[in-house]
Amino acid sequence: MAGSSKKKWAFAARFRRNAFGWPSQPAVTRVKEAVSEIKKAARGDAALAAEGAVLFLEKVSPALERVDSSSGAIGTAVNHAIRDLVPIVAGAAADRKTRDAWLERLWSAHEADGIPYIEDLADHWGELCASKEVASAWADRLVGITRMALSPDKNLRGHFHGTTACFSALYVAGRFAEIVDILAAESFWPYKRWAVRALTAMGKKAEAMRMAESCRGPWASGQDIDSLCEEALLDSGLVDEAYRRYGLNANRGGTIEAGLTALHWIARGHGYEITGLEVLAAYRHTLEAAEQNGTVESTKDRVRRLVEVGASAQGLVTTVLGREFGH
């Protein structure tokens, strides 16, 4: 890892504080170039690419402070960058000292994110921890202030930028009951959805789906509710029911995460008499959703990792999709 920090990243000089002016398009182009540079490095050195991803995420928000964000183009570009770069940081082999250093740098960047541009990084905090042990340590660090921030006592309650990061860490740490307990009286959907996911992981599918359905309203899009209900069914191996009730299709836009969840659980042997055609259908619908979101390549990368993880066992997903990725 010592050599990784010495690389001269081309994007680094371009992402100085206030480097970009008012027009958003030049900044959008530079964000895409930076992600491409990091992804190219990942093909040869995963740890080097992770270091580059952390550096970019540190620098991106200060560099964009003067950019016109009213069209949403630059925000969308940064969100796509986060989705592409999180798996690189999460998947890189790193010792505890290196991982902790990355997380501290990202935490400082998230804390200082005034616009904000990298707010969505908190949704992936548990994934960035890359282990239950590290995720649990971060959960311990954040859970006290999160409980205070969500307290029914107006004298204690307030905004905490790490609330979602706390739930993400608790989730990856497997501390599902704590999530449900903290959110018992909370109605704000961006937080409540973590309780739905936690109940699903606890095997309480029906309760999770009832909670999700009860939250439909201005803070929860129908697609977001559908996605988590799909996840509850797919987590139980009920692939057919998921497609029947909340089917991924081009007409309603599809859900990338639900498709990937389906492939994830099929690859681990869940589901009743799953066929190769169902694997292909899940893959096809996932790509259809990715095409609409402009994330085909990053989605294919995530499916490729599923195939590679299961290659030694020659599971159904690997057998059916192996040719797609050269296995």
- What pLDDT score was predicted for residue 56? 98
Is the Cβ–Cβ distance between 172 and 145 less than 8 Å?
no
- What pLDDT score was predicted for residue 252? 38
- Model confidence at 192: pLDDT above 90: yes
- What pLDDT score was predicted for residue 260? 77
Q: Summarize the confidence of residues 97-110 as an average pLDDT.
A: 98
d(CA 213, CA 197): 13
Give pLDDT tens digits for 279-323: 787 788 788 778 877 788 888 888 887 776 554 444 677 777 876
Distance of CA 115 to the CA centre of its chain: 20
d(CA 303, CA 142): 32
Is the Cβ–Cβ distance between 319 and 276 less than 8 Å?
yes
Give pLDDT tens digits for 199-240: 988 989 889 999 998 988 766 777 778 878 877 777 666 666
Whether cis (ω within 30° of 0) applies to the bond prior to 62 is: no
- What pLDDT score was predicted for residue 282? 77
Label residue 1 by pLDDT band (50, 70, 90).
very low
- What pLDDT score was predicted for residue 4? 46
- Residue 72 is given by DSSP the state S
Distances (CA, A) of 74 to 267, 285, 290, 299: 36, 27, 19, 21
Specify the pTM: 0.75
Q: Summarize the confidence of residues 134-163 as an average pLDDT.
A: 96
DSSP secondary structure string for all residues of 271-288: SSS--HHHHHHHHHHHHH
CA neighbor of 211 nearest in space, from 223, 229, 234: 229
CA neighbor of 229 nearest in space, from 206, 202, 250, 252: 206
Q: φ, ψ for residue 217 (rounded to 5)?
A: 170, -165
Q: Which of residues 184 and 295 earns the better pLDDT score?
A: 184
Side chain identity at 281, as an amino acid letter? A
Q: Which residue ranges make up each domain of the chain?
A: 1-115, 122-193+203-215, 221-327
CA neighbor of 74 nearest in space, from 16, 24, 14: 24
Percent of the chain having pLDDT more than 90? 58
H helix count then E strand count, the chain = 17, 0
Taking residue 261's Cβ as centre, other Cβ atoms within 10 Å add up to 22
DSSP secondary structure string for all residues of 230-252: HHHHHHTT-HHHHHHHH---TTT
Q: Summarize the confidence of residues 54-82 as an average pLDDT.
A: 95
